Every structure is written in structure tokens, then in C-alpha cells.
Structure 1
Amino acid sequence: MRHAASTYGTREFLRFPDASLTFSDADTRSDLLAQALTGRGVRPGDRVAVMLDNVPEWPLSWLAILKAGAVAVPVNARYQAADLTHVLTDSGAVLTLTTGAYAAANPGPCLDPALLTADGGVPAHKARPDDVANFQYTSGTTGFPKACMLTHDYWLRTAQITADQAELRDDDVMLIAQPYSYMDPMWATVLCLIGGIPLVVLPRFSASGFWASVREHGASLTYVLGTMPLLMHKQPPRPQDRDNRMRLVLCSGIQPGLHRTFEERWGAPWRELYGSTESGPDLVAAVGAEDTVGTGAMGLAPPGKEVRIDAETGEILVRGRPMMKGYWNHPEATAHAFRDGWYHTGDRGFRDDAGYIHHAGRLKDMVRRGGENISCAEVESVLNQHPAVLATALVPIPDELFGELPKAFVQLRPGHAAEESTAMSVIEHARRNLARFKIPAYVEFVESFSLTPSARIEKRHLLNPERDQRAAPAIAIDKDRS
């Protein structure tokens, strides 16, 4: 940040609907916030949560926390009681930077960063590359979300790899529409610090308004994922679709059958960027890699990374940098993820004759609902707290729009009827405790579950491929599936 402020000064850095900050502005304002935090007792190594919408105070708070030597804990603003309490308790956050709208649901001390005043000098803390910058919570194979410990080096390398892959230019304008609590706006922020270019931050993703925003802001780079491409594709074609400055769309999970259609419709190349919270970018398709269009190829490992497949079609394994330091408070999960010196992604893949790696499904016990990872164990834990529920199993079912939707199989306690009113009572309980995207879209009651020798539910027996998992006796819950 200091280097960018001294190098790019009065160039525009952050552009929000109602605010624009130069590199110097962001440096000065994050300094003041860092002073305010240290003046209120925040010390190096302390965890400070950030629970805000896409407003200027989000990136400013992130930079201020790091300047103070503390560790940022991004919190999804849609979290409810159970998931919010878990993140704040597990991280040991000493403070949450948020607004009044979210403070009521927050069990710990809160401050509004827009109202903080500085008292004291600029923090003298000097970060080292291997210092932890973020506790980035992600849904893993089992259990509640775990915090990936991401270092300053992790963010710098992730941004530099992406900048190199995008062949970053001085006249580029980056646009992002994901919530700032996700990884994407954060590495995009660092990318713009490196390149001295503006970052346009939209309040939220809008399929109907995305390309209008691209035109309005003269954006030339963007990153999308999950359901975003398909939702945009479902919008009616418009004469001005190709009237834009976009020169590159980075995307994770481009649908092969629509890849060329996307490029032709909006007049820009779409290139794969594959990775994870744990490992950053692992595979990239170069701007000029036209041979990947429509093939499903995810590209090649960037400099600093090695990627291999442990069988002809097997698990994708990664090593190199960037890479997380491990999972906070979960040494066994860390050791399991890094078996034999390789990070085990939980994704299956294969390598084609050109050397490109393709995705071939997942091994993890999670649901990928659009761009959201949902820990099955987390949702099951909440559902099991309902007085009518004896046991539950959450599984992914295919969906044309979202890729996957969560379906809950529920075994009831004696005395409770397997009817729609019971299902809705269970779901209302979930809505009070979980973010909306984690709520099951379908519920099906079962008499009992088949168990493994270790007394775990055998989920593979639940999804009979010969029947529609949405049809009776399944009860549809989330009618609009949003």
C-alpha cells in the first residue's frame, strides 16, 4: 500500500457507487483506521473480524488491520446466529468492525469503522512475508468451516500470478461484483495495488446489470464464477452486448458447451482460473490459449506451482507457493490435507494430450451451490438441533442453474409426522441459524439410514440415480432456489 501510494499517488484506486479513493487517499485513511485500532488495544497477532457490505470501509479496514499487525477475519454479512458465532468464537476475534445493521446479531464487541477516530501515531509494525494476514474461513471435507491461515506472501503471490496471467496493462480497469468477505475482491485489491489501476467494486452481483456496469465504468478485466456466467447468459441478448472495453474475463468452471458462446456474445476471451482458498491459483489458461475454448481444460500450473494427478483420473494434488500455513486450530486436518508434501484438493481430474488438466468431479463432503461452498456437516449439525430431528444427511443434487443444490434427508424422532409442516419447521430453524444459501432446497423424510462400520451415514445409498431427487416424496423448500 505504501509503495502504491508513493508510486501512483493521485491515480484512482477504489471506485464504489458513491465514493472514489486515490492510492494516497486509501493509504492515509487506512493509516487513521490502524491508529484507531491500536488506540483501542488491538495488538499484533490479534484477530479482528470484518462484517460489512461492499463499501469503502471494507478494504480500508482490511488494510488497517494488517498495518496494525493484526489478522483479518472476513465474515459473510449473510451469516446468522450459528455460523456467525462459530467464526467469531473459533477465531478468537477481539473485535468486529461492522455497522449497526449487523451489530445486533454479533455476540462480541463491535465498532463501526466509518465512525472511528484516530488517537495515536501510525503503527510501527512491519509485517514479514510469512506473517498471517487472514483467517479465511472455508468449508472443508468435514465439520464446520475451518480458517485457512493466509499470509502476506500468499496474497502478494496470488495477485502477481493473476496479474501475469492477465497480462496486466496500465490502462486496465478491474471490476468485481462478489462480496468482499470472499477471496476474490481481496486478491483483486492487491492486483490493483501492484498494477496501479482502478478497482470498481459493485454493491452486489446483478445478472441484468453486470454488463451495463462494465460499459459504464470502462472495465477491461473481471473475474466471475459459479452461477454468474449462466445467469448472465440467460438474460435477453442486447444490441450493445459487445459495446464494451472488456479484454479478458477470468472465470472458474466455464461451461464447455457455452464457452465460445460467451466469447462471441460479449466480444472478449474467457479464460479459466482454478484454485482454492487453501492454495490460491493452481491452474491458469493463458490469454492466448485459444485451444482451451470449449474443451473444459483448466490450463497449466503457473510459476511456483506443481500440479499432478495421482492416477489416470484421480485427485488433483498441488504443492508450491502461494499456499496457506494450515488450518487454524486443526492440526490433524492440516496434516491430512498435506499428505506426502502435497496439498490434496479434494477434486478429481485428468490430463489431456496437450498437458492441460481437466476437472472430473469432487471427493469432498460438501455442496457447491453456485459460487458458494456449503459444509454438509455444518448444516447437518444445525438441523440435528431441531427437537423433531433424530438424524440428517445433506447431499448435493444436480441443478442446471446452480450446479448443485443441497437436499436434506431427515430421520424424525418418534411422535413427529413426516409431513410438509414438519419440514417447514425444520427449515425455519435452519433459517434462524444459517446463511440463506446453506438452507436445503429439498427435504425428504426417511425411516432409517444405512450406516458404515464406523457408524457414519452411508450417503451413497441415498441418491438413487434412477429417480428424480426433486420428485415426491421430496418436499421442495426454496421455490425460487436463490
Structure 2
Amino acid sequence: MSIFETGLAPSAVNHIALSPLSFIERTASVYGEHPAVIHGSIRRNWQQTYARCRRLAGALSARGIGKGDTVAVMLPNIPAMLEAHFGVPMIGAVLNTLNVRLDARAIAFMLEHGEAKVLIADREFHAVIDEALGLLSRPLLVIDVNDPEYGEGCAVSPLDYEAFLAEGDPQFVWHWPDDEWQAISLNYTSGTTGNPKGVIYHHRGAYLNSLGNQMTWAMGHHPVYLWTLPMFHCNGWCYPWTVTALAGTHVFLRRVDPQKILALINQYQVTHLCAAPIVLNGLANLPDATRLTLDHPVDAMLAGAAPPAKVIGAVEAMGIKVTHVYGLTEVYGPVTVCAWHAQWDERPLDERARIKARQGVRYPTLEGLMVADPATLEPVASDGQTIGEIFMRGNTVMKGYLKNSEATREAFEGGWFHTGDLAVRHADGYIEIKDRLKDIIISGGENISTIELEDVLYRHPAILEAAVVARPDEKWGETPCAFVHLKDEHQGIREADIILFCREHLAGFKVPRTVVFSELPKTSTGKIQKYLLREWVKAL
């Protein structure tokens, strides 16, 4: 036996499950009077916020909700969403944040597949919620959130959120998870190959990625964080837990408005925000007459297609420092970062922009990252040219896909998580995405499946063949471009007709912005050559 063996098994004295629930308890006890929430006229400190989270947990528990039950929420960036990130897992339940941009059929699928017992929804979404509930095969408890900063819409339920909280005890005694492997949340992918897949997060991964955010960004104590990133995306990239751990202040923004973003940054001395590139594009393209000068430095973290050099230059001139990250739903949000070196500051803007476009290196909390041959898993040369697939492994990889063991097995084959993204590795070890195995389009931070869009296009009676590729867009990063070959008897069909048809069958952000009428290039076996279509797009 080694001299370092005590002969004792781990116990409560020296081993406890890692969970981000510990963050709010500590912050409320140490910095209870520090501002926690700013939402319009609403102001709450950490003691008050902690009490509301405990009320939510207690009220859910009193209604019979407990360990392993799913609580779905369809909420914008408002305080109730933050409360759900703590109140729901406090009773061992699993939080399922729904994408507020999806249609009723997709929402209904997620509620059914995830077996939600409770739905907490903002009344802005009453129409889509009513339709989705009508598609369900079983009832569930629905709670209506009436945000005073919205003041519109219809109630989704007679049960009001504030009244529901009043049912709970602000001193409710919540319990630590039995196991850090226990599920904490359920996030659905965008359905790139049929129905969306339910990605299961565990307490350990949520805890570690929350710390990884802090380590990577060096956020310091008491950050003031502006919620421009939708909190339904990968649990807000774990920032509900990160900012809470640092006793920061959550500044909520219900709708993205570039001018309001600048006003909030100055008014509340915002230090950090996360966003899709479209948000920075909006700030950079504000009219000079409405553009405010920032009176302090701000850090912005963005993921997705990197903005062009002129946008990076414009926001840098405003005092915003850009950090580029990369991740997926399956890894709790961002897990790689284009870690910056001071000597790069002296390089020309175009060169800095090219460097910032790289997906970079792994977070300290991700144990493995490689670019390798998809078949052999042999790492590619670090020459910036040889393309391989991005693979990851570590504690911040998902638990697996809900009710889909086959998809989980395929994703984890060979002991690595297969991202499906193609990249090169540069000589300095930084990775850079070049393409996507599944042709996913990232538009304004949202994933759009070309397969799903093509399926809709083929339903149009005038279309003989269709293919969809990404078209670069300064505002959205990428937008769908549809190439369609019409049947001979329907040559009078116009672009507007195709777009209208798609709008009737798809969520708005998935609708193609451009339609090109043409015969489609094919291989000798009849396969459409999308790489040629991508070249054609560049000439549009």
C-alpha cells in the first residue's frame, strides 16, 4: 500500500458532489446586499434573489415535483429565467429551456419527448404555447409569467408566477444532488437531422464550465453582465451560474436593441456581455447621431461566424474588446477560446480580425481537443491546411442524448465526442473551422439545418430539385440561400413565392433570404455538388 493511502473511503468530510447550486448560497451569505438583478424598474439583491429561488423550489416541491422531473420554461431574458436555473435543480428536477423562436410543433415535441410536468411561460408567447399545448397527449402544470417590462400578450394560464412563488417558503431547505452525475438541465439541438435531440447536462459539467468561463475571461469579482445572449441557449452558456458565483449583477435585456444595449452599458457600467456576431454588427452600424460613446472598457464574448474586420475595428474603437469562442450544445456552450496574445495588438486590423476568427484552444476545464481524421481518429498535421474533424473529451461533455442511445454511441465512438465540424490546426495549436459535416448554417447565432429547409422546398409543387447552402451576410453572419430547379410547367414562379411558401412551414429565422433559379451541378452518380454552389454564392 502506498504511504499516501489512508485506508479510508471518500466521505462527506472530503468529497461532495460538484454543483453550481453552491454558488448562490455562498453569494447570498457573503454578498447578500450586493445588487443581483436589474430589469427595468426591478432591483433585487442576492438575499432577495436567493429567497425567490427557494420559494420556486418549495412551490414546485409542494406540487409534487421532484428528482428527475422535467420543468420546461419558455422565457426571454428576464429574472424568472435566472430563478429557474437555481430553483428547479434545488429539488433535483431538470430544467428544460425552450427556444422562444421555435414553432408550436417543435415546442410540443420537446414537451412530449422531455416528459415535462411543468411549463413556465411568458405571456408574449401565448399564441405558440396555446397551439403547442393543443398538440400534447397529456396535461401539465402551466404557470403564467407577466413581465412588467412587457405589458402585452395574453395569460398562458390562470396560475400567475408571482402567486405561485408565494406558495413557496423563502427558507425552503433544498438538498444537494446525490451525485454530481445527476442531470441538471435538458437542452435541445436544432434538429439538424430530423427531430431535435435532447442533450443532458449534469451538475459536474455545469459547475466546471461555469468556472471555465471565469478562468478564460478573467472576469474578476462583481462583474456587471448584460444579457444580450438568449438564456435558452445552452443555459446561457452557463453564465447564469458563472455571474452568480462571482457575486455579479445580472442586467436583463428582453429584446436585443443596439441603441438600448449601449445605453444600458453606460447606465449600469456593464463590464461583460456575450452575443452572436449580429449584435456587434448592430452596434457597429448604428447611425452616428444615435451612437453613444462608452465611458469604460467592455468585454464582449461571441461565438459563431466571426464578424468582418470592419465590424471588429468599429467596436474596438467604441471600447469593446472582442473574445471569440466556440462550442456546441453538447458541451455546455463555449469550450474553446481564441486566447489572445499581447503582441497581436500591434498587428494591422485585418490581420487581427483573421486571428480572432479562429476557434482557438481548449478551455482549462476541457481535457481534450484535437482535429483528426474522422475515420481513424489520427490527428492531422498542424499546418493550417489539412482538414479534419474537431473532437473533444472531458468533464464538460454532455451526459448523453435523451432516449437516444444509438445517437449517443455514435457521438462518443472511439472515446471522443464527434462535433461534426471540420477544421484545420495551425502551427501554434489554434484550430480554425473550415466547414461543417452536416452543412449547418449559423444565422444570428441560430443553427439552421439545410436538410430541413430542403425538405420543405421539395414539398413545393413547382420545385423539381433543391439545395441550400450558407450565404455570408454582414448582419447575420450567414443566411440560407436556396438553389432551386423548377419543373418545366412552373417557370413563372418567383423568388417571393418560394419564400412565402417556406415561411408557412418554417420558423422565421430558417426561411431562405435568397432564392436562385438554376439547374443544379451534380456528380456522375447524381449527387448535388454543394461545394460548387458555395462558390456560386460568393458571386451573388
Normalising by the residue count of structure 1, what TM-score does the alignment of the two structures yield?
0.85
* Contact 2:206–2:238 under 8 Å retained in 1: yes
Aligned partner of 1:283: which letter? Answer: T
- Out of 131, 139, 144, the residue aligned to residue 105 of structure 1 is 131
Q: Does 1:20 align with 2:43?
A: yes
Q: Deviations over 1:426-470 (max 9, x none)?
A: 23422xxx43111222345678996997x9x64627727347786
**1-structure distance, mates of 2:455, 2:162:** 36
State whether residues 149 and 327 of structure 1, in contact with CA within 8 Å, keep that contact through their aligned partners in structure 2: yes
Shift of 1:262: 4.1
Which runs of 5 or more residues in structure 2 are unaligned?
Answer: 1-23, 145-160, 346-351, 373-379, 381-385
Other-structure match for 1:465: 535
Q: Is the deviation greater in 56-65 or in 104-113?
A: 104-113
Matched length: 465
- Deviation of 1:341 (Å): 1.3
Question: How many percent of aligned residue pairs carry the same amino acid?
Answer: 28
Matched, 1:61 2:84: yes
Q: Within 5 A, what are the aligned runs for 1:308-327?
A: 308-310=370-372, 311=380, 312-327=386-401
- Give the 5 Å matches for 1:189-268: 189-237=240-288, 242-252=293-303, 253-255=305-307, 257-258=309-310, 261-262=313-314, 264-268=316-320
1:367 corresponds to which residue?
441
Tell me: CA distance 1:134–1:413, structure 2 relative to 1, closer, same or farther (3 Å): farther
1:168 aligns with 2:168: no
The answer (yes or no) to whether the contact 1:165–1:287 under 8 Å persists in 2 is no
Deviations 1:285-340 (A, max 9, x none): 44655528332343322223221111233222211121111121222222222221
Partner of 1:423: 498
Alignment pair present for 1:29 and 2:52:
yes
Displacement, 1:418? 5.6
Structure 2 CA distance, aligned partners of 1:114 and 1:386?
A: 47
Is 1:307 matched up with 2:366? Answer: no
For residue 343 of structure 1, what is the aligned residue in structure 2?
417
Match for residue 479 of structure 2 among 388, 393, 405? 405
Deviation at 1:196, TM superposition (A): 0.7
With over 3 angstroms needed to count, the CA separation of the structure-2 counterparts of 1:297 and 1:408, relative to structure 1, is closer
Task: Please say if residues 452 and 458 of structure 1, whose CA atoms lie closer than 8 Å, have aligned partners that are also in contact.
Answer: no
Corresponding residue SS for 1:105: helix
Post-superposition Cα deviations, 1:214-262, rounded to whole Å, max 9, x if no partner, equal 1111011122223222222122347975533234222224436247614
SS of the aligned residue for 1:219 comes to: coil
Structure 1 segments unaligned to the other structure (5+ residues): 471-482
Of 214-223 and 346-355, the range deviating more from structure 2: 346-355
Q: Which has the larger radius of gyration?
A: 2
Distance 1:10 1:439 in 2: 47
Amino acid at match of 2:389: E
Residues 367 and 167 of structure 1: CA distance in aligned 2, closer, same or farther (over 3 Å): same
Q: What is the alpha-carbon distance in structure 2 between the residues aligned to residue 248 and residue 464 of structure 1?
A: 33
**Partner SS state of residue 353, structure 1:** coil
Q: Output the aligned Cα RMSD.
A: 3.2
Q: From the superposition, tell whether residues 171 and 238 of structure 1 become closer, same or farther in structure 2 (CA, over 3 Å).
A: farther
Cα contact 1:143–1:375 (8 A) shared by 2: no
Does the C-alpha gap of structure 1 residues 213 and 351 become closer, same or farther in structure 2, counting only changes over 3 Å? same
Distance 1:384 1:192, change over 3 A: same
Could you say if the C-alpha distance between residues 83 and 240 of structure 1 is closer, same or farther in structure 2, counting changes exceeding 3 Å? closer
- Indicate the residue corresponding to 2:12 in structure 1: none
TM superposition shift of 1:185: 3.3
Give 1:265 deviation, angstroms.
Answer: 0.9
Following superposition, the deviation at residue 372 of structure 1 comes to: 0.8
Deviation at 1:349, TM superposition (A): 2.2
Given the two structures, how large is their TM-score scaled by the length of structure 2?
0.77
Q: Which amino acid aligns with 1:284?
A: V
- 1:328 and 2:328 matched: no
In 2, distance between residues paired with 1:424 and 1:304?
43
Shift of 1:411: 7.1
Q: Is the 8 A contact 2:212 2:365 kept in 1?
A: no
Q: Partner residue of 2:427?
A: 353
Find the aligned partners of 1:223 and 1:163 in 2 and give their Cα distance: 13
In the alignment, structure 1 residue 276 sits paired with structure 2 residue 328: yes
Q: Is the 8 A contact 2:54 2:174 kept in 1?
A: no
1:116 maps to 2:164: yes
Check whether the contact 1:79–1:435 (CA below 8 A) recurs between aligned residues. Answer: yes
CA contact (8 A) 2:224 2:248 kept: yes
Question: Once structures 1 and 2 are overlaid, which stretch shifts more, 151-160 or 400-409?
Answer: 400-409
Which moved further from structure 2: 354-363 or 288-297? 288-297
2:226·2:251 contact (CA, 8 Å) conserved in 1?
A: yes
